Amino acid sequence: MSTAADPLVGAPPVADVMRPEPYRIERVKGETHDTFTVELRPEGGGACRPWLPGQFNMLYVFGVGEIPISISGDPASPVLVHTTRSVGRVTKAMARLKAGDVIGVRGPYGVPWPLEAARGRDVVVVAGGIGLAPLRGALYSLLAERDDYGNLVLLYGTRTPQDILYRHELERWRARFDVEIHVTVDRGSSAWHGNVGVVTTLIHKAPFTSRNAVAMICGPEVMIRFTAMELQRRGVPPPQIHVSMERNMKCGVGFCGHCQFGPHFVCRDGPVFPYDRIEELVNRWEV
């Protein structure tokens, strides 16, 4: 029997929480050789559910499976946007979908980026590879309310120049002159005249006041670990460093335990965590 302290009292029945809503694909845009963006609207009209940058949806490719994908669009836009890298069974099936096809959507879920806590401070956004997608919504919000923040820096690393996401948008943002953007690649080419090296090598170039800065990091786990170490070395306190973690998920809402990360469920307690809450776990996992 439920008691007054039971967190499930008043919660919708499990079946409702787990039921995907049909969304129609309005547009598919190829971003790189293995990454694409879909724009979705609820099938049969109506508005998309409100969401905050850093949150994710469970996307269901009917007959194939359901996966967590961050919302990567502009919070001010009426369409729901997801950018996905094709790596396995579900993402490859999703890559074959076309405008007009329907997928299932559950969400939004999870803890967003700390945009409110960052007001009045310098903001350092560090992305690796597809990790720029979960951060793009935060960048739209920061740029929309630019006067509310101090220095704004984006440091972005990819494997090759061909893997750079949202290239035109990065160029547009650079032309604003109120956000400093540095991009680096692991392997350059004869046509690449930019930085070569891991994204942590960009941190010393970034103009921010360490004790006043809020950092937001998303990328492969090893990149998160070294970026957080480098930011701490520069003086950014660990509670001001926020990272987005990935774990395999099934329910997305804290029922199944699939995404357990130490004492945390990434779907419910994250995916965005202050680094001091998970630093020990990240270091232990990497050993």
Ligand X SMILES: Cc1cc2nc3c(=O)[nH]c(=O)nc-3n(C[C@H](O)[C@H](O)[C@H](O)COP(=O)(O)OP(=O)(O)OC[C@H]3O[C@@H](n4cnc5c(N)ncnc54)[C@H](O)[C@@H]3O)c2cc1C
- Can you give the binding site for ligand X, defined by CB under 6 A? 56, 65, 67-70, 72, 83-85, 87-91, 130, 133-134, 246-247, 249, 271
Q: CA dist 121 to 80, 118, 196, 209, Å? A: 29, 5, 29, 9
Residue 256 binding result from ligand X, ligand FES, none, given CB thresholds of 5 to 8 Å by partner type: ligand FES
Residue 179 binds which of ligand X, ligand FES, none (CB < 5-8 A, kind-dependent): none
**Closest among 78, 66, 80 to 37, alpha carbons compared:** 80
256 near ligand FES, rule: CB under 6 A: yes
Reference 126, options 210, 242, 232; nearest CA is 242
Nearer to ligand X, 236 or 243 (CB): 243
268 contact partners, CB below 8 Å, separation of at least 6: 109, 110, 253, 254
- Separation in Å, CA 53 to CA 97, 141, 184, 224, 285: 25, 8, 24, 19, 27
CB 64 to ligand X: min, Å: 8
**Rounded least distance, CB 70 to ligand FES, Å:** 15
Shortest distance, position 110 Cβ to ligand FES, whole Å: 10
Instruction: Say how many C-beta atoms besides its own lie within 10 A of residue 52's C-beta.
Output: 18
Q: Is 176 helix (H, G, I), strand (E, B) or coil?
A: coil
258 touches ligand FES (CB under 6 A) = yes
Amino acid (1-letter code) at residue 23: Y
Q: Which residue, 84 or 232, has its beta carbon nearer to ligand X?
A: 84
Complex with ligand X: residue 208 or 261, whichever CB lies closer: 261
Window contacting ligand FES (CB under 6 A); options: 9-17, 127-135, 205-213, 250-258: 250-258
Site for ligand FES, rule CB under 6 A: 249-252, 254-259, 265, 267
